[in-house]
Copies of this chain bind each other. A is one copy, B any other.
Amino acid sequence: MRADTKILLTEKEMPTVWYNIQAHMPNLPPPPLNPRTGQPVTPEDLLPIFPLELIKQEVSTEPYIEIPEEVQQLYRLFRPTPLFRAHRLEKALDTPARIYYKYEGTSPAGSHKVNTSIPQAFYNKQAGIKRLATETGAGQWGSALSMACSFFGLECTVYMVKVSYQQKPYRRSLMRVFGAEVIPSPSPLTQAGRAVLEQSPDSPGSLGIAISEAVEDAASREDTNYALGSVLNHVCLHQTVIGQEVQAQLAKVDEAADIVIGCCGGGSNFAGISFPFVRDKILKGTKTRIIAVEPAACPTLTKGVYAYDYGDVAKLTPIMPMYTLGHDFMPPGIHAGGLRYHGDSPLVSQLLKDGLIEAVAYPQTQVFEAAVLFARTEGILPAPESSHAIKAAIVEALRCKEAGETKTIVFCLSGHGHFDLSAYDDYLTGKIQDYEYPERLVKEALANLPKVEL
C-alpha cells in the first residue's frame, strides 16, 4: 500500500506565528541606506509609505511574530496548502528519490503572493489607510494585492508595466474583478510617468518605472500607502507560513528533507519555503541542502556581485546590501517575468554569502521541458517561475538515480500557469530561445553601482 498523494494539515494545525530569521542569522545584513542622505534608513523615512507595524517587522529580531487572528481567518480560505508526494513524476524519472512539492497555487490569486498581500492590507487598514498603490509586472503580485484590498475594503491602484498590460489582459481583468484600478505604466498621472512619456511616448514601461510611479503616488497622498510584493524583510517573514507547514507535513510522514528547493527572483517565495529549514541548520545543525534557483538569463545570485545597490532604475528606493546585476541591468524578456529582477532580498543574499544556502541557474528551454513533464505526470500546469524549482528537483532526483541514493527532495510549486499559456504555446512550437549570460550588459550595469562601501 503506497503512501498518500497529499499530506494535509487541518486549519487548527496552521502556523499561528511567522518565523523571523533575523533572530538567528549568524550575520545580519548591513542596514539599508537612504538614497538621498546615504545614511541608514530610519523608521521616519519609511512612515510616509508604510504602516508602523510593517516597519517594526522589517527590523525586528524577535524569532516569532504572531499572525493576527483576522489574517489567520483569511489564510484559511486557502491554507494550510497541500504537500504532494510526486509519485508519478518519480516513476517517470525512475528515481529512488522521494519528491515532495508544496503547492501554493491553490490560493485564489494563484500564487504564494497572497501570504503577504493579506497581512499588508490588514496592517494598512489598521493604521487608518484608505488606499494602497503598488506596481506589477506580469500581474501575480497585483492580483494578490487587489484581492486582499477587496477583503479589507481598501481601494487599490496598480501601476502595471504597459507591455504586460497590453499582452496579459487576463491578469488585468482579474485585478478589476477584485475592484482594483489598473493603470498602464508609464502613465500621465505621476511626475515620474510624465517624465518618461515626454522622452519616449511609446515606452513599453518597466518594473523600475512602475515602482517609481507607485511610490510617488503613495508618498503624495495622505490616505495612501505603498505595498511591495518581494525583497523586503517583512515580505519574506510573511511567507514563512509555507516552510513551517512543510515541516509539519513532513513530520506527519516521518520524513526529513535532504534537499529544499525554491525559485528565486526577489526572494520571497524562496524565503518562504527555506527559512524554517535554515533555522534548523543554524540551531540544530541539520545538513539540509537549500537551493535557490534562478534563470540563466538573470543570474543574480550565481553571477552577480554582493554590493550596495538601488532597488529600482529610478534610484528612489533605499540602497540595499544584496547580490545584484546592477540596477541598470535590463534582463532579457524571458517568460518567468517574476524572476526578472536585478537584485535580491538582503536576507537571502546574506545567507548565500554565509554559505547557508546555495544557488543554481537554468536556461528557460530546460525549465519549460521540466514544466511539461510535470504537467503530463502530475497534472498541474506550473507557472514558469515555479518551473525553475521543478527543473532543479529533477536534476537532483536524476543525480540520486545515478548514485543509487534515496534522498528526500522538497520544492515549492509557488503558483499555477493558467495565465502563462502563451509562453507554453511558444515553447511547444519551438519559438522559445535561451539567452547567453548577458556578460557585457551586466558589466556595464555594475559600473553604475552607487559608490558606497559594504
Given the complex, which residues of B lie within 8 Å of A178, measured CB to CB? Answer: 375-376
Q: How far is the CB of A227 from chain B (nearest CB, A)?
A: 18
CA distance A192 to B425 in the complex (A): 29
CA distance A422 to B8 in the complex (A): 34
Given known pairs A4-B11, A108-B379, A109-B379, the reply for A428 and B76 (CB within 8 Å) is no
Q: Are B106 and A106 in contact (CB under 8 A)?
A: yes
Given known pairs A76-B6, A77-B5, the reply for A108 and B381 (CB within 8 Å) is yes
Interface size on A, residues (CB 8 A): 44
Q: How far is the CB of A368 from chain B (nearest CB, A)?
A: 10
CA distance A174 to B376 in the complex (A): 11
Contact for A177 among B77, B84, B110, B372, CB less than 8 A: B372
Q: How far is the CB of A216 from chain B (nearest CB, A)?
A: 27
CA distance A110 to B380 in the complex (A): 9
Given the complex, which residues of B lie within 8 Å of A419, measured CB to CB? Answer: 418
Q: A interface vs B, CB < 8 Å?
A: 4-6, 8, 10-11, 73, 76-78, 84, 87-88, 106-110, 147, 150-151, 169-170, 173-174, 176-179, 372, 375-381, 418-419, 421-422, 424-425, 428
Closest to A85 in B: B76
Q: Are A424 and B77 in contact (CB under 8 A)?
A: no
CA distance A377 to B148 in the complex (A): 10
Given known pairs A8-B10, A376-B179, the reply for A428 and B173 (CB within 8 Å) is yes
Given known pairs A11-B5, A11-B6, the reply for A174 and B381 (CB within 8 Å) is yes
CA distance A349 to B316 in the complex (A): 65
Please name the 5 residue pairs, one residue from A and one from B, whose CB atoms are nearest each other, closest first: A108-B379, A5-B76, A173-B421, A418-B418, A170-B421
Closest to A12 in B: B4
Given the complex, which residues of B lie within 8 Å of A150, measured CB to CB? Answer: 375-376
Q: How far is the CB of A369 from chain B (nearest CB, A)?
A: 12
Given the complex, which residues of B lie within 8 Å of A5, measured CB to CB? Answer: 11, 73, 76-77
Q: Are B176 and A425 in contact (CB under 8 A)?
A: yes
Q: How far is the CB of A175 from chain B (nearest CB, A)?
A: 10
Q: Are A380 and B108 in contact (CB under 8 A)?
A: yes
Besides A107-B379, A178-B376, 9 other A-B contacts (C-beta < 8 A):
A4-B10, A5-B11, A6-B76, A77-B379, A106-B106, A108-B378, A177-B376, A177-B421, A177-B428
